[in-house]
Amino acid sequence: MKTKNLSISKMRKNTPKINLSGIQFFTLLTIILLSACGGQDVRNDPGYFIPPTLAAKPATATPLPTATPEPEPTNEAPCINDLRFISDVTYPDDTVVAPNQEIEKVWLVQNNGTCNWEADYTLRNVGGSPMGASTIQALYPVRSGGEYEITITFYAPTDAGAHNSNWQAHDPEGEPFGQAFYIQIVVDPDLVQGED
C-alpha cells in the first residue's frame, strides 16, 4: 500500500503543472471543439448567429439635386404696323365734280410694315368731311410687303368749293399707323351730274 502511494506521488511530481487563464482556456476549448467538428464551416449552419453589429451595411447613394432648366428667352420682337401711300388711282386732287355726285375714290397703298393686316384692321376718318361715307371702314387683309387698292364711295357736298376727307389705318387696338391719305375735290354747282 505504501508502495502504491509512493509511485502515485512520484507521478504527480513528474507531471508539469499547467496554469491557464480564463481566455486561454476558452481558446483551447474552441480549438478542440472545432477539431472535433472536422473543420466544418459553421457559418453555413442555419443556427449560426451573426451579431447585428458585424452585418455588412448596404451602401446607399444620395441622389444629387437636379437643376430646373431655365426657359430659353425668345428674341422675337413684336411686328410693326405701317402703311405707305403710293398714288391716287381715281379722282386726282382738285377734280371738279357736281353737287351730290357719287365718287368712287381708289388709292394704291402698300403694307410696308412687318405685321399682316388681318380682318380686325380698319380705316377711319381722321379729318375733313366723311362726305356721306361711314367713318369706319374695313381695311382689306394684306400681307406684309403687299400692295392694295383701297376703295371708298363718297357723295360730293352741295356746297360749292373745295372739300376733302382724310383717312388713316388703325390696328386692332384702335391705334393709328402709317401715312394718312385723302380725297380732295372741288364742287361746281353749274356742273351737271355725270359730266367731268
Read off the pLDDT of residues 9-62 as tens digits, 9 standing for 90 and up: 454 555 555 565 667 776 767 676 666 555 555 555 555 555 555 455 555 666
44: alpha, beta or left? (left if phi > 0; alpha if psi -120 to 50)? alpha
**Distance from C-alpha of 186 to C-alpha of 89, rounded to nearest angstrom:** 17
**Distance from C-alpha of 7 to C-alpha of 2, rounded to nearest angstrom:** 9
**Three-state secondary structure readout of 119-169:** CCCEEEEEEECCCCCCCEEECCCECCCCEEEEEEEEECCCCCEEEEEEEEE
Q: Write down all domains in the chain, each with its CATH number in brackets.
A: 84-187 (2.60.40.10)
Read off the pLDDT of residues 61-110 as tens digits, 9 standing for 90 and up: 666 666 676 767 666 789 999 999 999 999 999 999 999 999 999 999 99
pTM: 0.60
